[in-house]
């Protein structure tokens, strides 16, 4: 397939590109380094340096013998994204090109406005590029489990059947996002559903939980081809952040009571999920939604697992509860369905001690680059 990856410089975008390339697909990655720029502006540098996208593509060819093409440009500009679609004619589009941080979206007006404009503009432009140039292509859009919030009922995979006054219909499950970033994802879903039913587009929306990990299926990949690994409070996911805190000797910072429950998955499973979605495209006029996770944990359970794994390696780690900077339920019911991708063939990589210890070993190699100031919360919701 011709696979276009929007946001190909990101934590998920780059490993998705190398994975699809390794499978023999023709891959084009597009990015404008927006995430790099705002990470620099907020003093949220990743644990180790990653080359620019064109250099990463060159290094990957040296490593694998396979090519990844790249273009640098702003996908929120219609003329640029239209030129990409017109020239490349993608058959599969993987859309990661959004501001990915809930804390960043809550820093203030300018950050909220940037998040809203960038995320919706890129999605809107992508849909119109499909309509104009590749109406038969399949869009795989990265959503988030955070769209659902924490309702006191089971969470289905995107859709819910409702009966009222003796009549039934199917609707998108009601959303209750906990940040402006997650709200833009809700708006994405509504926008996509409008264009799917109006123009007959084929779209799979992956409601993904927090991702952790460094390794892809190419375990011998050199460090300079790893995804950008953030451990800070703004761009770092909780598992990655806790692992770095353990290595640095910083108490693992559990927000509030630590009962917040979410669905998690290994980076390798993200790659599997996107591949399975690409191999099994939705039908024209269908918005197919999968919940993309493999297991659920409370924040306390994750912290305890990481402390135990660190202790087996002789790393002394402890847990500290701090005031929660976010506005969220700290104890709640949480039971999401996630059978769809399993039925397509997902083989989960669970959060075992071996997986955590392997990550701790990799992080130890870069211990000197850890900045203690970057792990404490710098953004408050109130």
pLDDT tens, position by position, 330-374: 999 999 999 999 999 999 999 999 999 999 999 999 999 999 999
At 111 the pLDDT is 98
Q: Shortest CA distance to 207 belongs to which of 122, 328, 275, 288?
A: 288
Query: pLDDT value at position 382?
Result: 84
Helix/strand/coil for 25 = coil
- Residue 134: CB atoms within 10 A of its CB come to 21
- Domains of the chain, earliest start first: 2-374 (3.40.50.720)
Residue 63's pLDDT band (boundaries 50, 70, 90)? very high
52-to-17, 32, 332, 358 alpha-carbon distances in Å: 14, 11, 42, 26
220: pLDDT confidence band, cut at 50, 70 and 90? Answer: confident
Quickly state the pLDDT bin for 167 (edges 50, 70, 90): very high
Which pLDDT band holds residue 1 (cuts at 50, 70, 90)?
very high
Q: Could you count the other beta carbons within 10 Å of the beta carbon of residue 345?
A: 11
3-state secondary structure of 326: coil
Which residue, 182, 43, 14, is CA-closest to 101? 182
pLDDT (0 to 100) of residue 14: 97
DSSP character at residue 272: H
Active site residues: 144, 181, 185
pLDDT tens track for 316-335? 999 999 999 999 999 999 99
Question: Residues 359, 241: contact at Cβ < 8 Å?
Answer: no
Dihedral angle computed from the Cα positions of residues 189, 190, 194 and 195, in that order, rounded to the nearest 10 degrees? -30
What is the C-alpha to C-alpha distance for residues 188 and 119, in angstroms, rounded to an integer?
A: 8
pLDDT of residue 123: 98
Is residue 219 predicted with pLDDT exceeding 80? no
Give the per-residue pLDDT at 143: 98
* pTM flag (> 0.75): yes
Q: Determine the pLDDT at residue 361.
A: 96
pLDDT at 279: 98
Q: What are phi and psi of 290, to 5 degrees?
A: -115, 140
């Amino acid at each position: 397939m011709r696979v276009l990856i929007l946001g190909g410089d990101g934590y998920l975008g780059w490993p998705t590109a190398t994975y699809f390339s390794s499978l023999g697909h023709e891959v084009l990655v597009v990015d404008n380094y927006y995430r790099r720029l705002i990470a620099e502006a907020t003093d949220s540098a990743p644990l180790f340096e990653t080359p620019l996208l064109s250099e990463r593509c060159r290094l990957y060819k040296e490593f694998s013998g396979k090519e990844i093409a790249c273009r640098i440009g702003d996908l929120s500009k219609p003329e640029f994204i239209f030129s990409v679609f017109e020239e490349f004619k993608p058959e599969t589009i993987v859309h990661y090109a959004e501001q990915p941080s809930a804390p960043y979206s809550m820093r203030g007006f300018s950050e909220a406005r940037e998040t809203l404009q960038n995320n919706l503009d890129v999605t809107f432009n992508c849909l119109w590029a499909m309509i104009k140039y590749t109406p038969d292509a399949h869009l795989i859009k990265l959503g988030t489990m955070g769209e659902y919030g924490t309702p006191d009922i089971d969470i289905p995979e995107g859709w819910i059947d409702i009966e009222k006054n003796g009549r039934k219909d199917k609707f998108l499950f009601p959303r209750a996002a906990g940040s402006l970033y997650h709200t833009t994802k809700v708006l994405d879903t509504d926008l996509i559903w409008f264009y799917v039913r109006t123009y007959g587009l084929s779209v799979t929306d992956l409601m993904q939980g927090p991702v952790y990990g460094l390794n892809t299926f190419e375990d011998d990949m050199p460090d300079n081809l790893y995804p950008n690994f953030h451990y800070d409070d703004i761009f770092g996911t909780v598992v990655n952040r806790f692992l770095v805190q353990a290595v640095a000797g910083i108490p693992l910072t559990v927000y509030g009571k630590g009962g917040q429950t979410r669905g998690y998955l290994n980076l390798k499973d993200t790659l599997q999920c996107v591949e399975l979605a690409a191999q099994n495209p939705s039908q024209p006029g269908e918005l197919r939604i999968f919940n993309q996770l493999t297991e659920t944990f409370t924040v306390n359970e994750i912290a305890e697992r990481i402390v135990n794994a660190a202790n087996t390696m002789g790393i002394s780690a402890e847990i500290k509860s701090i005031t929660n900077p976010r506005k969220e339920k700290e104890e709640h019911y949480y039971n999401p369905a996630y059978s769809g991708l399993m039925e397509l063939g997902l083989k989960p990589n669970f959060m075992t001690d071996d997986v955590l210890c392997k990550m701790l070993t990799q992080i130890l190699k870069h211990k000197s680059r850890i900045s203690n100031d970057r792990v404490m919360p710098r953004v408050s919701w109130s």
